[in-house]
Amino acid sequence: MSVAFTRRSALRGLALAGASAFAAPAVSAQTRARVVVIGGGFGGASCARALNRLGLAVTLVEESAAYVACPFSNLVLHGSRDIAAQRFGYDTIRREGVEVVGQRAQGVDAAARRVRLADGATLAYDRLVLSPGVDMRFDALPGYDAQAADVMPHAWKAGAQTLLLRRQLEAMEDGGLVVMSVPANPYRCPPGPYERASLIAHYLKTSKPKSKLLVLDAKDQFSKQRLFQDAWKALYPDHLEYVPLAGGGKTVEVVAAQKSVVTEFGRHAGAVVNVIPPQRAGSIAATAGCVDRSGWCPIDPATFESRLAPFVHVIGDACIAGAMPKSAFSANAQAKVCAQGIALLLKGEAAPEPKLVNTCYSFVAPDYGISVAGVYAPAKGMLADVAGAGGTSPPGAPQATRAAEADYARAWFKIATEEAFG
Amino acid sequence: MSGGRISIALAAALAAGFFVSGMRASDAQAISAQASKAQASVAIAPPGATSCTGCHAGAPSGDQPALPSLTGQSAQAIEEAMAGFRSGAREATLMNRIAKGFTEDETRAIARWLAQEGAR
């Protein structure tokens, strides 16, 4: 899958003759090893900074001038947060000494260890980190393509899609039906759809009380399920209806012209329709030859090095991290473990077995937070839950606990974005 | 990756050759000092330690958030807090769930590393 470079066939002969080190740019002309990071989200930005702190020469390739964060973007849909508060640039990272290249990475030649940029220039690397996030699969759900997303937004990448869905919710007349389609696992941010459902229901209850949200889910079990469902029963009995897989919730087709979602059991037309489609690793991961048949990237849990492409590491939502969920917190934790692993590998040393943590807060209402946490360690080549640790906030906790967790969630966002972007 | 080691060794040999033939000794020394500084800065964190700053800021900013910074906390204070979270003696909304994922030895190593150089 890697892009063919003109030099490549000439170099193949050399590589076969056992002189592959000459084909690789490696560190021969540099005093410091060069690491290229593709993708400037929570994973890539955190990794670039961590690598830079470890004394390595780092180039961050990100075509957007700023990152728009997905965590807390459901509050933008809710109407209580400005999208500007979700936007983070790369000035600090640049000031710290990371070279930031504002271009799209077009290709990766894993054999020659080069990244090709949109303008045709190439970047040589000793190690490459891919943190490309997810792409929506516009080939997976019949009727849902890029054009349909302009009518029935996914809003699963923050930015224009978030604002589109917000405008649709605002423009909807009171009494309208909002329909949300939720995919099967795996996808970015496992509890995200349920936080979104909660906050849309809160918006309807407070601003459009004759309206209702219908959530159609392709599964029966989900993250923080009991906590969400307890809260829905208490807070949104008239504004949120949840249909699991067993109740006919799986979307089999969508029809943009009718703004409708088709399940095995029927057809649901909405005044506003939010379709969260199936996803896969961001496309550069496939270009680099790191993606398996699942659409995601298998990795070594100690260093996040690809199982498929040597000298390439994959972190964040794109990688298969076993029990670790696809979250911003996970991406940040993986970024730091990956950076350390790369520093060791470049010194010719083996990376020790890591432990990683994930913490994920969700809002059920603006002053009502719940969380799930986990501790992970490699087991049988995958990241597995450390037994006895982790779990969700307790069911039945007093409102003071829920309010405290909402405060912790806000503190987490501030710290996490400072750690990633400065 | 054995390939990585081979290419680095080769590259180092190539680089050394370059320095001898085409550079002033002072330049070579400066570059070599820079390289060893880069190597020295690889302070390897014990398992789990780098996750902490995902919530607990390395450098606390102006307004103190709900989640305390670990900068300036002693190893003993961190270790005691974690022991309290693990046993349940210290109340928490979330740290109790995380502390149970680490042994006493692991927690001690993390606490020492954070107190010395980690939280930044």
Domains and CATH numbers, chain A: 5-133+282-421 (3.50.50.60), 146-275 (3.50.50.60)
**Do B54 and B113 have their domain in common?**
yes
- Tell me the backbone φ, ψ of residue A141, rounded to 5 degrees: -110, 115
Domain membership flag for residue B69 = yes
**Considering the domain boundaries, does residue B56 fall inside one?**
yes
What angle, 0 to 180 degrees and rounded to 10, lies between the N-to-C axes of helices A225-235 and A192-207?
A: 10
- Show the CA angle centred on residue A48, arms to residues A47 and A54, nearest 5°: 85
**Structure tokens belonging to residue A347:** 């010194």
Rounded Cα distance, B102 and B110, in Å: 10
CA distance A164 to A110: 38
- Output the domain CATH number for residue B79: 1.10.760.10
Judge if B69 and B108 occupy the same domain: yes
Range of the domain at B20: 8-43
Which of residues 27 through 86 in chain B touch A, CB cutoff 8 A? 31, 34-35, 37-42, 44-45, 47-48, 50-58, 61, 65-67
Same domain, B38 and B53: no
Burial, A72: exposed, middle or buried (Cβ in 10 Å; 0-12, 13-18, 19+)? Answer: buried
B1 domain-assigned: no
Q: Are residues B36 and B54 in the same domain?
A: no
Domain membership of residue B58 (yes or no) is: yes
CB A355 within 8 A of CB A375: yes
What CA–CA distances, in Å, run from A219 to A21, A25, A98, A223? 49, 47, 42, 11
Question: Based on the domain organization, do B30 and B59 belong to the same domain?
Answer: no
- Residue B60, domain member (yes or no): yes
Domain-located, residue B81 = yes
Are B35 and B73 members of one domain?
no
Q: How many residues are recorded in chain B?
A: 120
pTM attached to this predicted model: 0.87
- CB-CB neighbors (< 8 A) of A55 in chain B: 37-42
Q: Amino acid identity, residue B109?
A: A
Cα dihedral sign, A94-A98-A101-A105: negative
A169, A203 Cβ separation under 8 angstroms: yes
- How many domains does chain B fold into? 2
Task: Report yes or no on B3 lying in a domain.
Answer: no
Q: Are residues B66 and B33 in the same domain?
A: no
Residues of chain B found within 8 Å of residue A348, distances taken between Cβ atoms: 4-5, 8-9
CA–centroid distance for B47 within its chain: 10
Cβ pair A216, A181 in contact under 8 A = yes
Strands of the A267-269 sheet, one edge to the other = A251-255, A260-263, A267-269
| B111 and B92 both lie in a single domain | yes
Helix pair angle (A42-53, A328-346), 10° resolution? 30
- Chain A residue closest to B6 (CA)? A21
B83 and B30 in one domain? no
Per-residue tens of pLDDT for chain A, all 422 residues = 344 333 333 333 333 333 333 334 444 445 689 999 999 999 999 999 999 999 999 999 999 999 999 999 999 999 999 999 999 999 999 999 999 999 999 999 999 999 999 999 999 999 999 999 999 999 999 999 999 999 999 999 999 999 999 999 999 999 999 999 999 999 999 999 999 999 999 999 999 999 999 999 999 999 999 999 999 999 999 999 999 999 999 999 999 999 999 999 999 999 999 999 999 999 999 999 999 999 999 999 999 999 999 999 999 999 999 999 999 999 999 999 999 999 999 999 999 999 999 999 999 999 999 999 999 999 999 999 999 999 999 999 999 999 999 999 999 999 999 999 99
- Residue B2 located in a structural domain: no
Do B63 and B114 belong to one domain?
Answer: yes
* Amino acid at residue number A312: V
Q: Are residues B80 and B100 in the same domain?
A: yes
Residues listed for chain A: 422
**Structure tokens belonging to residue A264:** 């095995």
Same domain, B86 and B34: no
